[in-house]
Amino acid sequence: MSAPSYNITASFRRPMPTIPTASSFPTDPAALLQTPPGLLDDLDPLAEYRAEFHLPRAEDGSPLLYFVGNSLGLQPRSARALVEEEMDAWARLGVEGHFKKEHPWMSYHEALSEQMAAVVGGLPDEVVIMNSLTVNLHLMLVSFFRPTASRFKIVMEAQAFPSDRYAVVSQLEHHGLDPAEALVMLPPRPGEVTLRTEDIVAYLDREGASVAVVLLGGVNYYTGQAFDLQKITEAAHAKGCIAGFDCAHAAGNLALQLHDWDVDFAVWCTYKYLNAGPGALAGCFIHQRHARRSDLPRFAGWWGHDKATRFLMPDTFTPISSAEGWQLSNPPILSLAPLRASLALFAAAGMPALRNKSKHLTGYLSALIEDRAGEAVEILTPSEPDQRGAQLSLRVRRDARRVFEHLSKEGVLCDWREPDAIRVAPAPLYNYFTEVYRFVEILQAAL
């Protein structure tokens, strides 16, 4: 494997006499903190993937510390050629591009859906790439939110992403329901920041009979809390509720097992951890036991129609008996091309290895902050590695805005949330341990 070539690495690479020349990752926090970050990069089997990405730079050419892969993932270097390939095909072939030999547009999304299924732990016929996230959320609610007089509530987490909330409120109103009654936003306990799984389960045990759909973020965008999707799905099903998840911050971040966990549906975007570019197409998971049903109500379009008869243009809609049956339109190929570049990297690295590195990388960030920032910073994200993904949300107790501005000035790209929170997400595909180390140095200086 080639050595990481990022130039800030060099300064941390000096061997020190006390270094354990470990061949495996130090897990004990004290040992971890004593290990030079350059050595951690050397021990990282995924370090070479960084070279596959374009890294944003400051105006003077110096590389920025990019910790906003939870917002917009970086561009894979191979993406441009794949987009140009389709531009060329369009120029050369016109409409015949739909049937060209390599990657015909007719079936362009199919191989991608299959690779995407591997990323989220779905079967190939359970996953489809289509539309954008909020659109897919609406389509799923059309099929799975079927309120009755006694079962009509949708349960979300407090601090759910606003778009999800808007979508849900509009669905409730569309069904003539009053959100004040039908929308339940589960809050954390007083004095706590994140929800306890036991409280979600207890709520469903108590009130589940009136709940139609449980809709949580796989990872909450604000706190970075990863929910126990398996336990929550189990508790929802025990009371006859549908379990759906917005995995915008979970796909490509956690080792999801949507099929095995028996999740009913999930939606996510591909421009965050999945690096498919601004506004890229979204993913949608529909469990096989639903995906093959033709009786589920849905909003239909010709691209969801049975492929054998689609071009006979029949009057009656017959859905494809897989997640593809929810497609509306033929997909924008130019926007799918970068996803092909990105998913090839995910397939090569493998989600288990990425998740493993991510736990180390974020664990390192957390340990350094606790060691160096002490009381000045409160980590809002749960400390248990299984209850978080890559992201840490930091509450800065004093002069938070000034600290954030200092970070920006020093070339750190991270994210500000009013009134006092900074979100930092080291992405295991392209961030180095040395960058995490450097970030905490800058943070410490700012404090």
Ligand X SMILES: *Cc1c(COP(=O)(O)O)cnc(C)c1O
Q: Interface with ligand X by CB under 6 A: which residues?
A: 132-134, 161, 163-164, 217, 221, 246, 248-249, 269
Measured from the CB atom, is 164 or 228 closer to ligand X? 164
CB of 71 to ligand X, least distance (A): 8
CB of 70 to ligand X, least distance (A): 8
Measured from the CB atom, is 218 or 411 closer to ligand X? 218
Measured from the CB atom, is 115 or 270 closer to ligand X? 270
CB of 378 to ligand X, least distance (A): 23
Residues paired with 130 in a beta bridge: 282
For residues 366 and 379, is the Cβ–Cβ distance under 8 A? yes
Strand ranges for 124-198 from DSSP E: 127-130, 153-157, 183-186
Distance of CA 363 to the CA centre of its chain: 18
Measured from the CB atom, is 183 or 443 closer to ligand X? 183
CB of 132 to ligand X, least distance (A): 4
CB of 260 to ligand X, least distance (A): 23
Task: Supply φ then ψ for residue 38, to 5 degrees.
Answer: -60, -35
Determine how many CB atoms are found less than 10 A away from the CB of residue 278: 10
Measured from the CB atom, is 236 or 250 closer to ligand X? 250
Measured from the CB atom, is 9 or 220 closer to ligand X? 220
Q: Can you tell me which residue has the tokens 């306890």? A: 196
For residues 324 and 298, is the Cβ–Cβ distance under 8 A? no
Q: 86 exposed, middle or buried (CB, 10 Å; 0-12, 13-18, 19+)?
A: buried
Report how far residue 153's alpha carbon sits from residue 138's, in angstroms, rounded to the nearest whole number.
16
Strand ranges for 161-235 from DSSP E: 183-186, 211-217
Q: H or E element: which one contains 345? A: helix 333-349
CB of 440 to ligand X, least distance (A): 26
CB of 233 to ligand X, least distance (A): 18
Residues paired with 378 in a beta bridge: 395
For residues 390 and 68, is the Cβ–Cβ distance under 8 A? no
Measured from the CB atom, is 112 or 269 closer to ligand X? 269
Contacting residues for 447 by C-beta, under 8 A, at least 6 apart = 373, 376, 377, 396, 403
The number of C-alpha atoms within 13 Å of 151 and in the hemisphere containing its C-beta is 15
Measured from the CB atom, is 217 or 428 closer to ligand X? 217
CB of 268 to ligand X, least distance (A): 8
Q: Can you tell me which residue has the tokens 């601090």? A: 159
